[in-house]
Structure 1
Amino acid sequence: MSAPSGFSYTRRSDGTVLIVHRGRAAATLRGARAAKFLDEIAAGDEQLVMARWTGSYKFGNERQARRHPRNQGR
């Protein structure tokens, strides 16, 4: 499984945090959620934290799902 990439974030003057994934807005955090996010960013891998907060991360079952009969031919 590859590490998440393509994420960035911007802190605005009003305390809002905007998370962007590959040029598109993925999440907007305000208040206590924004503060908690910034604490996690300071303590860990930024890309992984942003992927978790936006829900854009792999769950580990992609290879198994690829072999499922309904996904054949995709």
Structure 2
Amino acid sequence: MSAPSGFSYTARRDGTVVIAHRGRAAATLRGARATKFLDEITAGDEQLVMARWTGAYKFGNERAARRHPRNQGR
């Protein structure tokens, strides 16, 4: 699995955090969720944290599922 990339975030003065993926808004966090996100960003890999919060990451089974006999011919 490749590492997530292309994420960025902007923390606004009103406490809102906007997470963007390749320049397009992927998630907007407010209140307690924004605070928790900012805490996680400082503690871990920023790209991985943003990918997890937006849901824009691969689980690793997509490639294997494509080769499964049930999915042949699709």
TM-score by length of 1: 0.91
Task: Within 5 Å, give how 1:1-74 maps onto structure 2.
Answer: 1-67=1-67, 68-71=71-74
> What does the per-residue CA deviation read over 1:44-68, in whole Å, with 9 as the maximum and x for residues that have no partner?
0000000000000111101112213
Q: In structure 1, how many angstroms separate the alpha carbons of the residues matched to 2:65 and 2:32?
A: 36
Structure 2 unmatched ranges of 5 or more = none
Task: Specify the SS of the correspondent of 1:10.
Answer: strand
Q: In structure 2, how many angstroms separate the alpha carbons of the residues matched to 1:11 and 1:43?
A: 17
Task: Specify the SS of the correspondent of 2:28.
Answer: strand
- Seq. identity, %: 83
Q: How many residues align?
A: 71
TM-score by length of 2: 0.91
Deviates more, 1:56-65 or 1:3-12: 56-65
> What does the per-residue CA deviation read over 1:31-54, in whole Å, with 9 as the maximum and x for residues that have no partner?
000000000000000000000000
Task: Specify the SS of the correspondent of 1:34.
Answer: helix
